[in-house]
Chains A and B, each alone.
Chain A
Amino acid sequence: MDSSEPSPSGDPDDRPAVPAQRSDQDAYLRVSDLRVRFDTEDGVVRAVDGVSFAVERGRTLGIVGESGSGKSVTSLAILGLHDPKRTTISGEISVGGRQVVGLADEEVRRLRGRDMAMIFQDPLSALHPYYTVGRQIAEAYRVHHPKANRREARQRAVDMLDRVGIPQPARRFDQYPHEFSGGMRQRAMIAMSLVNDPALLIADEPTTALDVTVQAQILDLLADLQAEFHSAIILITHDLGVVGQVADDVLVMYGGRAVERGSVEQVLRAPQHPYTWGLLSSVPSLHGDADADLVPIPGNPPSLINLPPGCAFHPRCRYADRAGSRSRTEVPELRAAGADGHLVACHLSAEERAAFYAEDVARVGVAV
């Protein structure tokens, strides 16, 4: 199976790759026109369908979406964690100038851990229960530093545990994952992913399983570490509040496609896509009228096997009719919207969007 081939010719939605961002040349991670498909019993799943973005070192990209939006699959594709027998990946993923798509397993493995690392949502299942936490971190170090001896690896692991704020790191080194609390486990997980100084860190819902006060600690820790190691971070989350707090750029995904991309100010302060409006208005807030009803997005997230034709969001979109039949027949391209670098995939014109958004804000009362 050759996954480096571009998507097969004659593909119905084979459209030109989306122009990548301005800072593309010096970005550490560049993803362009990424497509990930799985063949399943029930049909072909287009988990990711033409997504492009770039992340520079020292910046954080927040990828936002609901279940089935393809956000997690995107991150796993970057790490090369897929079964080549069932998965078709096309497009380009460049990590530090190296093309990952089509690379041999062995080489991707070498990149993984050293150049890019992942933080999972559930550290308990990501850490091996029968080995001490310290040993796992030291192993992770020695995989990429074969010359390091046991003592050096241990020292490095203890330093990392200390760095991520685990008290008494030398004693904690010899403890097992179940002896750590949830927050401490996530810290250990972060220590493990940072042990080889990766330039790219992918955090998939890193705080979803944690309590708010601990979440705040972990988010602070990630920000501190980023300032120190100057790494590029992808933060995958469903929580817009978290994105607003730590991200520099935001990518909003829906049904395996990017629907909006821009800086955090652009996307959260001047959202362009009706889906983003819906997300913002459905989040309960600590401010504003507590007695007012929340404004949910009607309907349910779509199935990736049976994606609605045209704009995948149209069955749930309040304004789908305004764009005429195009919303049902034509997949909207990601194009420039308003401010510099702000992209949106919507059939509505800029004027229409501005008018509807103003209407929306007036109706919902969530001016952010």
Chain B
Amino acid sequence: MTDEPLLRVRGLSKHFPVRQGLRATGLVRAVDGLDFDVRPGETLGLVGESGCGKTTTGRMLVRLLEPTSGSIEFDGRDITHAGRRELRPLRQELQIIFQDPYASLNPRHTVGRIVAMPLQVNGIKPPGGIKARVQELLELVGLNPEHYNRYPHEFSGGQRQRIGIARALALRPKLIVADEPVSALDVSIQAQVVNLLRDLQRELGLAFVFIAHDLAVVRHFCQRVAVMYLGRIVEIGDRADIYERPQHPYTRALLSAIPDVTQLGPAGRIRLTGDVPTPLDPPSGCRFRTRCWKAQDICAAEEPALIPRDGGNQATACHFPEVAGSITQVVEEVSS
């Protein structure tokens, strides 16, 4: 593809000052220098464990948070520090879906008002009227358009999440940031919503930044995947690269830690020891080195750059990337 990227992120960082009283005593490096692109109609998965900065990244992309440094370009325009007025036309093309289907809908508004909110806020009068447009949207996400006058508490979790999706679609965006859109739902409902998002993505040609901790869900939704660890991207690549030929040890550990229904009993796993270190004081050099079984002196001294291997789409930030070999081989290697 030769398309210009729709979203172009360079060196994006967010540091939160930690205060004790009035004095700043430290800096939480929640996101620390991200580079990635999203092309029109492409789905990029941002995966990682809690504290890796994926949610902060999503909030920065839709400018709910102000980036500390770096740049966000959307559709060729720099929106890193754009004000509310400048952002207005872009808001319509850049929307967000939230994780919690209970907190993300105003309990005092009817479904019709919730879905119409982005239209009203932006003073858009669709042909045929707002109500017709809202009902069309409700139908699009698989809800009964007659439920226009109902309140959120009358819907189940899955239905509420559909309402949130309808709201995000109201302005016909080009890119949607979906922040853990299915992790609060029951398994059987999760699949319904993932399928809905896939259908919408194909039909409307939407680009997605799909934030999730569940690698299995991401595999079913995203064409490209970026794995984050402690505020950094450690590996990015096409789906097949990440899931079949992961090169970063962390990606491998993450993949092997997922309990899979297709495997019964205690399967061979890469056991990572310890927890994710605090982003207040990340390890020097490679941030994963404290839990990595391959760590050498160079890992503490020098931070590995995110560089493409084999001239392909896949880039890995590791001094000792896996070149080939299946996960099971690695497990043997680790346990021996």
Instruction: Find out whether A and B make contact in their complex, taking CB atoms under 8 A apart as touching.
Output: yes
Contact surface of A with B, Cβ cutoff 8 Å: 66-67, 181-184, 211-217, 219-220, 223, 238-242, 244-246, 264-265, 268-269, 278-287, 290, 293-298, 300-301, 368
- CB <8 Å contact, B49 and A300: no
Determine whether the beta carbon of B253 is less than 8 Å from that of A213. yes
> Which B128-160 residues sit within 8 Å CB-CB of chain A?
156-159
Interface string of B250-263 (1 = CB under 8 A from A): 00011101111111
- Pick 22 A–B contacts, CB within 8 A, sort by A: A66-B188, A181-B276, A215-B259, A216-B259, A216-B272, A240-B187, A241-B259, A244-B262, A244-B264, A245-B263, A245-B264, A246-B266, A268-B261, A285-B262, A286-B216, A286-B243, A287-B260, A295-B191, A300-B156, A301-B156, A301-B186, A301-B189
B275 in contact with A282 (CB, 8 Å): no
Closest to A263 in B: B264
Distance between A304 CB and nearest chain B CB, rounded to angstroms = 13
* CB pair B275 A214 closer than 8 Å: yes
Interface of chain A, main secondary structure:
helix
Given contacts A67-B186, A220-B271, A282-B190, contact A213 B254 (CB under 8 A): yes
The complex places the Cα of A216 from the Cα of B266 at a distance, in Å, of 10
What is the CB-to-nearest-CB distance from B157 to chain A, in angstroms, rounded to a whole number?
A: 8
The closest CB in chain A to the CB of B273 belongs to: A217
- B265 adjacent to chain A (CB < 8 Å): yes
Interface residues of B in 213-268 (CB under 8 A from A): 213-217, 219-220, 239, 243, 253-255, 257-267
Assess the A244–B186 pair: CB atoms within 8 A.
Answer: no
A281 to B187, CA, bound (A): 10
Q: Name the B residues within 8 Å of A212 (CB-CB).
A: 49, 213, 215, 254, 257-258
Chain A residues near B219: list those with CB within 8 A.
284, 286, 290
- A284 and B217 within 8 A (CB): yes
Q: Does B106 contact A (CB under 8 A)?
A: no
Of A214, A245, A265, A278, most buried by chain B (CB within 10 Å of CB) is A245
CB-nearest residue of chain A to B199: A293
A67 contacts which chain B residues (CB < 8 A)? 157, 186
| Extra 17 A-B pairs, beta carbons < 8 Å, given A241-B261, A283-B191 | A213-B257, A214-B49, A215-B257, A241-B258, A241-B260, A244-B260, A245-B265, A246-B266, A265-B264, A268-B261, A269-B264, A280-B261, A285-B261, A286-B255, A296-B191, A296-B195, A301-B189
Residues of A within 8 A of B258 (CB): 212, 241, 286
Contact A219 B259 (CB under 8 A): yes
Q: Which residues of A contact B188 (CB under 8 A)?
A: 66, 278-279, 282, 296-297, 301
Cβ of B87 within 8 Å of any chain A Cβ, yes or no, is no
| Distance A295 CA – B263 CA, assembled complex (angstroms) | 20
Q: How far is the CA of A295 from the CA of B186 in the complex (A)?
A: 14
- Minimal beta-carbon separation of B200 from chain A (angstroms): 13
- A295: chain B residues at CB < 8 Å are 191
CB neighbours (8 Å) of A66 from chain B are 186-189
> Do residues A244 and B261 form an inter-chain contact, with CB atoms below 8 A?
yes
Answer yes or no: B192 CB below 8 A from chain A CBs.
Answer: yes
- Asked if B307 lies at the interface with its beta carbon under 8 angstroms from chain A, I say no
How long is the Cα–Cα vector from A238 to B182 in the complex, in angstroms?
Answer: 14
Whole-angstrom distance between the Cβ of A363 and the nearest chain B Cβ = 15
Q: Contacts of A220 on B, CB cut-off 8 Å?
A: 266, 269, 271
Nearest neighbor of B48 in chain A, beta-carbon distance: A211
B330 touches A (CB below 8 Å): no
Residues of the A chain whose Cβ atoms lie less than 8 Å from the Cβ of B216: 283-286
Q: Is the CB of A286 within 8 A of B191?
A: no
- Cβ A296 vs Cβ B192 within 8 A: yes
Binary contact track B187-214/A, C-beta < 8 Å → 1, others 0: 1111110110010000000000000011
Quick check: A213 and B195 within 8 Å, CB to CB?
A: no
Query: CA–CA, A287 to B262, complex, Å?
Result: 8
The answer to whether B214 touches A284, judged by C-beta atoms less than 8 angstroms apart, is yes
State in angstroms the CA–CA spacing of A211 and B212 once bound together: 11
Q: Which residues of A contact B264 (CB under 8 A)?
A: 244-245, 264-265, 268-269
Contact A282 B187 (CB under 8 A): yes
Contact status A286-B260, CB under 8 Å: yes
Taking the nearest CB of chain A, how far is it from the CB of B321, in angstroms?
A: 19
Nearest-neighbour CB distance to chain A for B210, whole angstroms, equals 13
B50 interfacial by beta-carbon distance below 8 Å: yes
* Residues of B contacting A184 in the complex (Cβ-Cβ under 8 angstroms): 275
